[in-house]
Structure formats: C-alpha cells, structure tokens
Structure 1
Amino acid sequence: MPILNLSIDELLTTTRSVRKRLDRARPVEVEVIRECLELALQAPTTSSGKKGHFVVVTDPSQREALAALYRKGAALYAHQRDQMRAAITDEEEATKLAAILDSAQYLIDHLHEIPVHVIACIEGRAGNLSAVEEAAHWSAILPAVWSFMLAARSRGLGTVLTTLHLDFEQEAADVLGIPYEQIMQVALIPVAYTLGTIFKPAARKPLESVLHWDRW
C-alpha cells in the first residue's frame, strides 16, 4: 500500500475522526493493519509494567455483535443528546452540533459494515487506582492508539476512537474471548479506506483560550 504524500504537520492536522467517509465496501488488507500496529508498538510507554493489546476483528458475525452492543450503548445517551440540542440557542452552534450528531448516528447505523474493528485493550482494570496509577494505566495504551490512527491515515485509512460499547464491556469480552477480569477494553476503532484522501484541519478554539503559562 503506497504511503500518502503528507508532511508530518499535515498528518497531525488532518487525522480526523472519520465516520461517513469510511468505505464500507472496500476490504482492508491484513498486512496494512499489521504495518499500522507494528508502528503503534513504537509509541512511548511507561514503566508501569502494563501492556497494551489490540484485538483485530474482521469476522462479520463478531462485528455485528459488537455493533449491536454499540447501538445499545448509544441508546443510553439518547436523552443526553436531546438535552444538548435543547440547550443550544446560537444557530451556528446548533448547526455544528447537528452535523456532529448526524455523523455519530451514521456510525451507529453502519458500524457492522465497517470492514475492520480494532479493540484497544490494557492489562489490568482501572478501578480503585490513585491519580498517579490511573494516569500511568492509560498512558500505557493511549499513545499507541494515536500512533495507530496516524499510521492508518498515512496509508489512506480512516479511523475514529469510539467508546460506546464499553457500557457492555463484559458482553463484548464474551464475544471476543477477552479475559474480562485481567484485560480492560479501552476503545473500539472502526477502520476502513476513506472515500477520498483529502482532509482539512478542523476548526478549533484559539490556542490562547486554552493555554496557561506557568500558572492557570
């Protein structure tokens, strides 16, 4: 698979959360996923001793089972989404939110059709951890997740980090044979080639609105 001609800055600013532009009909080669995961393993990690793991799901029946759990998870937050809509009075902000929720609903409806689901996992469960322990826990997997998404983008693949199935994590563990007591799922990442490869940087808050130098 040829690498897209992206500079480092372009790669960092155009690796988007892709939902509607995932090509549901085009297969993704096993070797491409393996390349992306090999690169992900080079991400910075901690000395906590925790290891990240990735479960790659391509079997249609397993993807359907995960998508069903994802839909159940999404249903739990339907009221919250309605509240978000009702709370916005600015027309421009309402339009932006509508687009985001429409994109999210598209993935809810079509997740089972996305050819690859990558489940990011971490050894150990995060309950009853101190702030230091919890930070170390997540840092053992999240940099690798982001590296995987960057590697995928560079190869013409789209990804989005999702978590809605985690309300039914144990059921997902049963579907995939994951030992629930020892291994914690962190995210479900749908992966597919994108419809077109051109993505633009997203509109974000100005740096000065979130930057705190020396003190808050």
Structure 2
Amino acid sequence: MIGGMTLPLSPDELLTTTRSVRKRLDLDRPVPIELVRECLEVALQAPTGSNEQGWHWIVVTDADRRRAIGDYYKQSYDRYRAVRNERIATLSAERQVVRSRVASSADHLAERMGDVPVLVLGCLTVAELPAGNQAGLWGSLLPAAWSYQLAARARGLGSAWTTLHLAYEKEIGELLGIPQNVRQGVLLPTAYYTGETFRPAPREPLDTVLHLDSW
C-alpha cells in the first residue's frame, strides 16, 4: 500500500509543474528509502509492451558508488558541454538567454551529481538491441521513469532526467554488478527540492508542432 503524504496537486498541475530539478536539489537532506520505494511502486503501474514488465531499478545511496557515478557523469558532460555551447551560440539572442539559463543549471548538476543523496537508474532486460528504431523497446521503460518523477514531485522530491551517463554504461554496470543483458535507460538523481515556485514552462505554441491528418 502506498501511504506517504502527497501534495494537493490536481492531475494537470502535477503534469505541468514537474520540472527537471538541478540547482534546487537539497544535497544535505537525507531521503528516506521508503519514500523512494513509494515512488517506484507508482512507477510499476506504468504500461509495458505485452505487459512484460522487464524493468529493473537500481537505487544507489552508497556514497562511494554515488561519487563514482558522478565522476563518470562529469566526464561525459564535459564533452557534451563543448558541443552544446557551440549550438547555443548559433541561436537568437532571446533563445540564448533561455538556453544559457538551462545550461547553467545543468552545469551545476554535473559538478554535484555524486553528492545527490539518491541516484535511481531505470534499466530494461534486453536480449539484443535492435539496429533500427528502438521506440518499441524503450517505450516499456520510459513511461515508468516519468511516473517515478511525477510521484517524486507529489512527495516533495525533485529529480532530473538524464542519459549522459550512458557513455559509461559498461563501467557503471560493472560498478553496480548489473548483468550484461540488462541495459540502462535513464538516470534520475533524486533529492528533496527547495522552494515552491514550480510552474508550467514556456513552450512553443501547439500549432507549430501539430499536424492533422498529414504533415
């Protein structure tokens, strides 16, 4: 039974105010493992192809392992940052302001990833990765990871969706003893968040991306 206290959020409010939390993660406040378990219980209600439920969830709280994952993440992020900054420089002045703010937040998390009290890895049992479109495969994991983030938000926890650690998937897998037929899909750093100013984010108008009947 899921018995934790949740915030009084409507479904639409929960869906539109669950943000990637990076600078506002409270790195000094311990997160009860039972709270993480509650969020994962919610995540397990997400759909999977043929109801196979081939997911696995690695919850890392050990300080040394968190620090090691943080080091791998930082190495991957440093390479990503150089490419990202080049892209930002090509944007309009208005878009540069927005992207630079997000970039600053991501930079902060990369520096402190190993200090986040809980790191959750969403994984999937995979016989062999297909060569073509993999949407049918990862569609059996990613909805559950998003459900985890929603459940965390409702319980006063913040998280951020990232996959940059996958550049070191093999090394992290060995660190955590993950079998070779279990592939990592997402890393969700989790901590209590500070502040209460979560609100819907600016988005491009729907009609710029909506296609009715054809492109």
Residue 120 of structure 2 is matched in structure 1 by 118
97, 102, 105: which one aligns with 1:103: 105
CA contact (8 A) 1:50 1:123 kept: no
3-state secondary structure, aligned to 1:84:
helix
Alpha-carbon shift at residue 87 of structure 1 (Å): 1.1
Alpha-carbon shift at residue 126 of structure 1 (Å): 5.5
Q: TM-score, normalised by structure 2?
A: 0.94
Residue 195 of structure 1 is matched in structure 2 by 194
38, 41, 44: which one aligns with 2:41: 38
3-state secondary structure, aligned to 1:75:
helix
> Residue 148 of structure 1 aligns to which amino acid in structure 2?
Y
Alpha-carbon shift at residue 135 of structure 1 (Å): 2.2
3-state secondary structure, aligned to 1:162:
coil
Aligned residue pairs, count: 212
Q: State the Cα RMSD in Å.
A: 1.4
CA contact (8 A) 2:27 2:117 kept: yes
> Residue 202 of structure 1 aligns to which amino acid in structure 2?
A
User: Quick one: structure 1 residues 130 and 78, their matched pair in 2 at CA, closer, same or farther if it must change by over 3 Å?
Assistant: closer
20, 27, 30: which one aligns with 1:27: 30
- Unaligned ranges ≥5, structure 2: none
CA contact (8 A) 2:89 2:96 kept: no
- Unaligned ranges ≥5, structure 1: none
Alpha-carbon shift at residue 130 of structure 1 (Å): 4.1
Give a deviation string over 1:187-212, Cα, whole Å, max 9, x none: 11000011023301000011111111
Give a deviation string over 1:117-175, Cα, whole Å, max 9, x none: 000000016533443xx222111111100111100000010011111110010000011
Identity across the alignment (%): 45
CA contact (8 A) 1:58 1:116 kept: yes
Q: For residues 84 and 187 of structure 1, what CA distance do their matches in structure 2 show?
A: 24
Q: For residues 198 and 155 of structure 1, what CA distance do their matches in structure 2 show?
A: 15
After superposition, where does 1:122-161 map in structure 2 within 5 Å? 122-124=124-126, 127-131=129-133, 134-161=134-161
Q: TM-score, normalised by structure 1?
A: 0.93
Q: For residues 70 and 135 of structure 1, what CA distance do their matches in structure 2 show?
A: 24
